[in-house]
Amino acid sequence: MTSPLSGLVVNVAEVLRRVGNVKDVDVAVDSNLLELGDDRIATQDVPIAFHLESTNTGIVVRGTVSARYRDTCRRCLAEVRDTVTVEIGELYQREITDPDAYPLEGEQLLLAPLVREHLLLALPDAPLCRADCPGLCPVCGADKSNPTEADCGCVVGASDPRWAALDALRERLDDR
């Protein structure tokens, strides 16, 4: 019986035999098995395509991982659905000489921590529904991207009385 994560635990005994040996890994893994701990990534099969190559210091892993995610637009609060694709280039070593390297224990390569880390770091911190999203009116909260609410009539930019002295100075300088 194979483990559900068998696609992410790769036997690299043959790859380690000689520098330059290669192995390709092309699998789809259920996102629940990756233990992402982030509900923005929906339950889905996460496609993983890696090329492993043996070097004199370890194994270089290159490839891509992608996943669909959903979030909230930071300007208008609309739902955002998109796909994040990550290009990966990492090193696994038995004796860690590179502080960024992943540990290579025995003849098994554990890819789950690598995939988890890169997917979570690739998610946008402040997603937008579109690049030119006008957002919400700061006065009444109308959605400016909605044509019926775009011209709400609110006066934006009411001055703060604490800046009155600087506003007066600006007006005097503009008159010159």
- What pTM value is reported for the model? 0.75
| Low-confidence residues of the chain: pLDDT under 70 | 1-7, 150, 156-158, 176
User: What pLDDT is stored for residue 171 in this prediction?
Assistant: 86
CB 134 within 8 A of CB 152: no
Beta strand 59-72 pairing with 102-103: unpaired
Give pLDDT tens digits for 58-84: 999 999 999 999 999 999 999 999 999
pLDDT at residue 158, rounded to an integer: 60
Are the C-beta atoms of 88 and 113 separated by less than 8 Å? no
Average pLDDT, the chain: 87
Please name the residue that has the structure tokens 């990966």.
88
